[in-house]
A and B are shown apart, each in its own frame.
Chain A
Amino acid sequence: MAIALAVSPTRMELLKLKQRVGLAQKGHDLLKEKMDALVIEFFEVLRRIQEARMKAFDQLSVAHRALSMGFAVVGTLETKQASKETKRELQVEISTRHIMGIAVPAVEVGEVERSALVRGYGLHMTSSVLDEASREFERALKLLIELAELEASAFAIVRELEKTKRRVNALEYILIPRLREALKFIMMRLDEMERENFTRLKRIKAMMEKRE
């Protein structure tokens, strides 16, 4: 049973409380709808993550295999050297998008794959195996960045979901029951006062009749 709020049992207070219950109820319904919408959105993102993750991780292991070939053919030191010589200037555009008031990152990746000529490492000393490895890694990187965007959105949505859920529960299990309890208390109290008054009047009437 909920603990009633401390209220004075007056008609004025009763009216105010009724209004508050109405408001709380409306807020509760709205939040609950928001929660449902968030859950739907969340599952959609989750499904996409699952797909993206599989694709990205597969590509990454392909890339690693290609890189091992590079290590074997070109040599470990030369490969590392090449990785330092490459132009490492990949840029991604990140802005924020809003899904139902939640800031969610929106990432835009341009063309990640480059031709061997613009990569920037020396072409004599290296081999086409290394170009192959770089290309596979470029593909993997693109997929990974897309995955990062999705995961970040999922985290943002889930955080909002948690907050909303807490609010819904606070309204549903704490505030609204308390208000209702207070409402009941006032109503009982007012009824009781009315009955008291009624008996008082009766008694006075009886006394007056006796006197006559």
Chain B
Amino acid sequence: MSYRIAVVGDQDTVTGLALAGATYTHIHTTNEETFAKLNEFFDSEEIGVLLITHRVAEELGYDFRRMVRTKRLLPLVLRIPDKTGYVSKVDELREIIRRTVGAEIMIKKEGS
């Protein structure tokens, strides 16, 4: 099956990724609007990958995290940094590892 790309974020991220060919975009202004749009994206059969900036994801908070946890296999959700390179301090994946493995795991490059 082929799917399309959706982007949620600030003006610059959305503009850039739209130039690259992302089909669905939403510029975040208020949480309510973004949630409405996200629900639409999550229900859509067409969207395979959803990119969302860390800043917006953080602003949406718990409700968004629950949405991601309870979604189906698709769309794949990926948090990306915005123009300023902002990345959330809490790394979802690392959180989960800590819960499952019960230890912090750091992967270092070989040789360093």
Contacts and interface: CB of A to CB of B under 8 A. Distances in A.
A32 interface: no
B90 interface: no
Contacts of A57: 80-81, 85, 87
Given A50-B107, A107-B49, A144-B51, A96 B73 contact: yes
Interface residues of A, number: 55
Nearest to A42: B97
B17 A151 contact: no
B77 to A, nearest CB: 8
Given A79-B15, A144-B51, A90 B22 contact: yes
Task: Specify the main secondary structure of chain B where it touches its partner.
Answer: mixed
B23 to A, nearest CB: 5
A83 interface: yes
Given A86-B18, A114-B21, A151 B76 contact: yes
Interface in A161-209: 161-162, 165
B18 A88 contact: yes
Contacts of A92: 2-5, 48-49
A133 B51 CA distance: 19
B111 interface: no
A70 B72 CA distance: 38
Task: Specify the main secondary structure of chain A where it touches its partner.
Answer: helix
A144 B78 contact: yes
B36 interface: no
Interface of B: 1-5, 11-23, 25, 48-49, 51, 73-74, 76-78, 80-81, 83, 85, 87, 93, 96-97, 99-100, 105, 107, 109
Interface of A: 43, 46-47, 49-50, 56-57, 60-61, 63-64, 67-68, 79-80, 82-84, 86-96, 103, 105, 107, 112, 114, 119, 130, 133-134, 137-138, 140-141, 144-145, 147-149, 151-152, 154-155, 158, 161-162, 165
